[in-house]
Amino acid sequence: RFPVYAEAFDQVCNLLDPHLDHPLREVVFTGGPDGLLDHTTYAQAGLFALQVAMARLLDSLGVRPDAVIGHSIGEIAAAHIAGVFSLPDA
């Protein structure tokens, strides 16, 4: 429904997929084989993709935060959103 969100989500998935045994997008939307989404690697990667995509969607709608914070993988997403890390570095 929101092309900006989908493009950002897919961009993150494409960057992470070479480091994963299963495509992230597939795991996020289907749970993956053997419930892989319950495993930390895929849960954290999926959360990162969601957070970056949501931030890009909000930005496209004119919503820009004065500050960002996060916990765990959210800290990395927040650092990327704040411009500290490029997306590939994050």
pLDDT digits (tens, 9 = 90+) for 64-84: 999 999 999 999 999 999 999
Range of the domain at 27: 3-81
Kindly state whether residue 90 falls inside one of the protein's structural domains. no
Does residue 86 lie in a domain region?
A: no
Integer Cα distance of 16 and 68 in angstroms: 23
Total tally of structural domains belonging to the chain: 1
Query: Does some domain include residue 34?
Result: yes
Q: Pick from 79, 60, 59: which is nearest to 69 by CA?
A: 79
- pLDDT digit string (tens) for 12-65? 999 999 999 999 999 999 998 889 999 999 999 999 999 999 999 999 999 999
Which of 43, 14, 15, 40 shows the shortest CA–CA distance to 27? Answer: 43
Is 89 inside any structural domain?
no
Whether the model pTM is above 0.85? yes
